[in-house]
Amino acid sequence: MSPLTNCIKNKDTKSNPIWLMRQAGRYLPEFREIRKENQDFIRLCLNSDLASEITLQPIKRFGFDGAVIFSDILMLPYGLGQKVEFEKNFGPKLGDIDLERIKNVDEVSFTEKIYKVYKAIEKTSKDPLMSNRDMIGFVGAPWTILVYMINKSSPKKGLSSEFFKDDFLINRLLGIIEKFLKLHIKNQVEAGAQVIQIFDSWAGLLEDKIPEYIYIPTLNIVDYVKKLGVPIICFPRGIKDYKNFCEIVKPDAVNIDYNVDPKKILNEIKIPIQGGLDPKILLTDQKTLKIEVEKYLGIFKDHPYIFNLGHGILPETKIEMVEELIKIVRNFK
């Protein structure tokens, strides 16, 4: 059994498997070379040969314990026919919602539109480099996908007061999102994904209505993934109450963000923990890195713990710092 699966399923504490969110991508010089020639981000995600090559780049370079497929959570709205594009120095831009068209999308046409994602997973999972490593698939949580589809861009300044005005649209859309997230996950698992992570990137935006928009929809997805027989990791970034989230949603493991106190998490949460380190620590120096990494490893020494970050690795991260990070994790006693 691979170190990552062993940690989640058997609650193993003898080693700390390591992978990083966004490890396949923008901080790697070899990725930047490919990106220069492939300006259209969605098209790049749908190039199964290149997506597989990008997914394996950090495995070749660093030997992480898991390879996370090079894709995006917005493949879901794209598969549903909403326009999705990525603008440099701005981020994702989505088109208007045509609910009539979206509600008529069937499972076959959705799968056909993004099947190259699954082809990339299949190709990557069969690569010899993946021996004793996990192929990690992922989706956005229902709430986060809803936010992107309605807001049409990253809600970096918070949600507008208009967001909740159309209850019918929200509830209808949430039902459609949930249905196709299950299909998207099933397709990834059938293609070779051995672990699934749910990214709720905008969980921290909600002050109330958390049960309605986060707990219940995410629980439905988690229950579904458990029936598929693969471990499920949740990352409700920015949520105020991780303990409550874990008790209600019951993921197999939970990724914590860098704003929470790891000691509090240790006392409150029994399931395997993943992540926590602020990605900005990788922009400092080796001494600071060692102190901060060993802080997390020390706190979770007797608790099943997967080393990761509290958010995605930053584009300006130096390769030497990632090498040092891995050395610290691997050598920790």
% of the chain residues with pLDDT over 70: 100
User: Domain 3-331 classified CATH 3.20.20.210?
Assistant: yes
Q: Which two tokens stand for residue 49?
A: 């040969």
Query: Which secondary-structure segment (H or E) carries 56?
Result: helix 48-62
Average pLDDT over residues 284-293: 98
pTM for this entry = 0.97
How high is the pLDDT of residue 191?
98
Given a cut of 90, is residue 156 above it in pLDDT? no
Please answer whether residues 278 and 315 qualify as being in contact, where contact means their C-beta atoms are separated by less than 8 angstroms. no
How high is the pLDDT of residue 148?
96
How high is the pLDDT of residue 88?
83
- Tabulate helix, strand, coil % of the chain (nearest 5): 50, 10, 35
How high is the pLDDT of residue 24?
97
Given a cut of 80, is residue 278 above it in pLDDT? yes
How high is the pLDDT of residue 331?
95
Please answer whether residues 96 and 81 qualify as being in contact, where contact means their C-beta atoms are separated by less than 8 angstroms. no
How high is the pLDDT of residue 332?
95
Best CA proximity match to 273, nearest among 75, 7, 20, 6: 7
Task: Tell me the backbone φ, ψ of residue 66, rounded to 5 degrees.
Answer: -145, 145
* Whole-number average pLDDT of the chain: 96
Given a cut of 80, is residue 18 above it in pLDDT? yes
What pLDDT, in 10s, does the model give residues 124-135? 999 999 999 999
Residue whose token pair is 């209808």: 172
Rounded Cα distance between 140 and 118, Å, is 16
Given a cut of 80, is residue 161 above it in pLDDT? no
Looking at the DSSP bridge assignments, the partners of residue 277 are 309
Q: Which two tokens stand for residue 278?
A: 């602020």
What pLDDT, in 10s, does the model give residues 181-198? 999 999 999 999 999 999
How high is the pLDDT of residue 27?
97
> What secondary structure letter does DSSP report for 312?
P
Given a cut of 90, is residue 333 above it in pLDDT? no
% of the chain residues with pLDDT over 90: 94
Given a cut of 80, is residue 106 above it in pLDDT? yes
Residue whose token pair is 């994790």: 329
